[in-house]
């Protein structure tokens, strides 16, 4: 036991290697050698943030041709590489667990089995599970006294039944801070003077409590939607029963969250679809919420709760890097229109500035030429849903079919057909490729996840991405910037694995014709 404890302490205290790639510093030296003073003066403005990230890279790795309304378009497909150790194709085909992928991101290497059968992945997974499952049994003080946290969540949901999980998370994060202050527990926060292991454990514990609160609130609100007469005690009983059954069945914290999110015990098909989507979202590179996490770490945020809440608020904005809420509003508006007016509304939306969940602020996901960049994640998320529909393991109701038909038509107009802008009638059509939340919305619509809950899965997994960023940021606070180019050593170069382009092309072919979300 002593050896196991020592191994755990060593594991959690381990920090990944920092990047030594300093492109601005190197360029300054070159400018000086060439006596290019004007260039050197410009570069000096960036000399305080020369480092590059060693966490995440998503360069173009694959190329594939697809047919778009009779035109051959070359897709320059972005890749996903975590720490230069793990690529998305391994996640998709390798059956890797969330604990495995998160471990790689936090520690910069793959988990191992070390002395005396100490399995790092197993230990890490058990820690995450323990932090999650203890929440429903925890006691917390609120304005009415000390009560079980699960009872407080039930009262919150009954009082505010139209609130999404993000509000429950923020509310109980505030209570957590208030309890610590009342009980004289100091807030150590995020700073580079803390022991790395203790800080990481606190971040994981805080995040998993937030995850449990958000997931329980989503499940309770679903119970109330089906039966508004349920009492607070009944909400607690039914929620606790599901969590207890899932834990007794050996389900991980993440798998229990899928069940809470769906409103019923998730089957194997649902677990597969949600797990793939979640794992791929563990880290999104320089996305807005990750940048907020880095900024908060740079400020030496006094509270871990505040660190996670700030990044979450950015993630849940209507126009975060993808706007999953924005596409929900757009689909709801389209539902009120006749089919011909829907077509006009989609084209008008694109002409006025773009379609929600299409395009990207940092990659060339829009263009009039025969090459365009493609985020592979939408296809990665949608593929298991299409497979489940084809096998008969997933059945859609009429409303789901109608709404997914709209998202398919949006894809056809925005990318396959494109639009001609006034005054540019002689130019090729402008095309936009979808980003990650196009796939996230479509997959969650097919699985029946409530509109209010469609960023919770991202939050569950992205929270660990924020921890990865915080650990790197505390090692080098100068790394933060709007776009963080990766260290070349973590950029994947082997394009021989066709897993990802095959998924992208097959999903495109499915979306360009017929009813994509009916069995084939």
Burial class (CB in 10 A: 0-12, 13-18, 19+), 34: exposed
Looking at residues 111-133, what average pLDDT do you find? 90
Q: Looking at residues 114-123, what average pLDDT do you find? A: 84
Q: What pLDDT was estimated at residue 65?
A: 97
DSSP state of 484: -
pLDDT of residue 327: 93
SS3 category, 45: coil
Q: Which of 316, 331, 217 is nearest to 263 (CA)?
A: 217
- 433: pLDDT strictly greater than 70: yes
And the tokens for 214? 């958000």
The residue whose two tokens read 């940092």 is 362
- Please report the pLDDT score of residue 310 as a whole number: 93
Section 124-150 average pLDDT: 91
| pLDDT attached to residue 75 | 96
The pLDDT tens digits for 3-62 are: 667 777 888 888 888 877 777 788 888 988 999 999 888 888 766 654 678 888 888 999
pLDDT of residue 402: 96
Report whether pLDDT(286) > 70: no
Confidence at residue 480, expressed as pLDDT on a 0 to 100 scale? 65
- Among the residue ranges 183-187, 342-346, 443-447, 509-513, the one predicted with the least confidence is 183-187
Neighbours of 346 (CB within 10 A): 21
Indicate left, alpha or beta for 306 from its phi (over 0: left) and psi (-120 to 50: alpha): alpha
Over pLDDT 70: what percentage of the chain?
94
Determine whether 110 is exposed, middle or buried from the number of CB atoms within 10 Å of its CB (0-12, 13-18, 19+).
Answer: middle
pLDDT tens-digit series, residues 61-111? 999 999 999 999 999 999 888 998 999 999 999 889 999 999 999 999 999
Q: Return mean pLDDT, the chain.
A: 90
Average pLDDT over residues 315-320: 69
pLDDT at position 50? 46
pLDDT band at 490 (very low <50, low <70, confident <90, very high): confident
Q: Which residue has the higher pLDDT, 321 or 421?
A: 421
pLDDT-wise least confident of 201-215, 257-271, 309-323 = 309-323
As a whole number, mean pLDDT of residues 132-153 equals 90
Query: Is pLDDT above 60 for 418?
Result: yes
> What local confidence, expressed as pLDDT, does residue 3 receive?
66
For position 450, what pLDDT does the model report?
96
Query: With the C-alpha atoms ordered 347, 403, 327, 371, is the resulting torsion angle positive or negative?
Result: negative
Residue 413, pLDDT above cutoff 50: yes
Q: Dihedral sign, CA of 437, 446, 410, 70?
A: positive
Q: Which of 359, 280, 327 is nearest to 451 (CA)?
A: 327
Question: Considering the chain, what percentage of its residues have pLDDT values greater than 90?
Answer: 66
């Amino acid at each position: 036991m002593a050896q196991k404890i020592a191994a755990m302490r060593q594991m959690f205290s381990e920090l990944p290697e920092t990047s030594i790639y300093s492109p601005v510093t190197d360029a300054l030296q070159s400018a000086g050698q060439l006596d290019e003073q004007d260039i050197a003066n410009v570069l000096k403005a960036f000399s305080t943030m020369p480092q590059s990230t060693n966490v995440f890279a998503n360069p173009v790795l694959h190329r594939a041709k697809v047919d778009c309304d009779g035109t051959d378009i070359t897709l320059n497909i972005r890749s996903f590489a975590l720490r230069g150790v793990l690529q998305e194709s391994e996640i998709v085909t390798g059956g890797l667990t969330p604990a495995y992928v998160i471990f790689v991101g936090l520690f910069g290497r793959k988990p191992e089995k070390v002395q005396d059968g100490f399995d790092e992945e197993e230990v890490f997974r058990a820690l995450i599970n323990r932090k999650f499952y203890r929440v429903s049994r925890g006691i917390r003080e609120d304005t009415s006294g000390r009560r079980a946290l699960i009872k407080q969540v039930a009262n919150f949901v009954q009082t505010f039944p139209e609130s999404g999980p993000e509000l429950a998370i923020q509310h109980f994060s505030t209570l957590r801070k208030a309890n610590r202050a009342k009980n004289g527990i100091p807030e150590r926060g995020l700073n580079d003077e803390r022991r790395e292991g203790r800080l990481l454990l606190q971040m994981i514990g805080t995040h998993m409590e937030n995850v449990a609160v958000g997931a329980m609130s989503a499940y309770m609100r679903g119970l109330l939607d089906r039966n508004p007469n349920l009492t607070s005690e009944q909400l607690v009983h039914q929620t606790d029963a599901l969590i207890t059954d899932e834990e007794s069945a050996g389900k991980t914290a993440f798998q229990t969250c899928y069940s809470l999110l769906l409103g019923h015990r998730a089957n194997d098909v649902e677990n597969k679809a949600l797990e793939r989507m979640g794992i791929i979202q563990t880290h999104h590179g320089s996305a807005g919420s990750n940048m907020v996490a880095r900024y908060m770490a740079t400020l030496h945020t006094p509270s871990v709760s505040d660190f996670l809440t700030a990044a979450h608020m950015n993630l849940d904005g209507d126009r975060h890097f993808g706007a999953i809420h924005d596409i929900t509003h757009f689909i709801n508006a389209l539902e009120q229109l006749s089919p011909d007016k829907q077509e006009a509304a989609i084209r008008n939306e694109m002409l006025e500035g773009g379609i929600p969940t299409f395009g990207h602020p940092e990659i060339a996901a829009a263009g009039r030429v025969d090459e365009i960049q493609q985020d592979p994640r939408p296809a990665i998320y949608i593929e298991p849903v299409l497979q489940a529909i084809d096998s008969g393991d997933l059945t859609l109701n009429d409303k789901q079919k109608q709404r997914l038909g709209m998202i398919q038509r949006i894809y056809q107009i925005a990318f396959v057909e494109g639009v001609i802008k006034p005054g540019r009638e002689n130019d090729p059509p402008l095309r936009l490729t979808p980003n990650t939340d196009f796939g996230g919305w479509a997959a969650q619509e097919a699985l029946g996840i409530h509109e209010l809950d469609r960023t919770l899965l991202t939050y569950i997994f992205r929270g660990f991405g924020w921890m990865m960023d915080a650990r790197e940021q505390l090692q080098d606070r100068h790394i933060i910037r709007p776009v963080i180019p990766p260290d070349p050593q973590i950029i994947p170069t082997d394009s021989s694995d066709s897993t990802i382009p095959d998924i992208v092309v097959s999903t495109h072919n499915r979306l360009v014709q017929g009813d994509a979300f009916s069995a084939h």
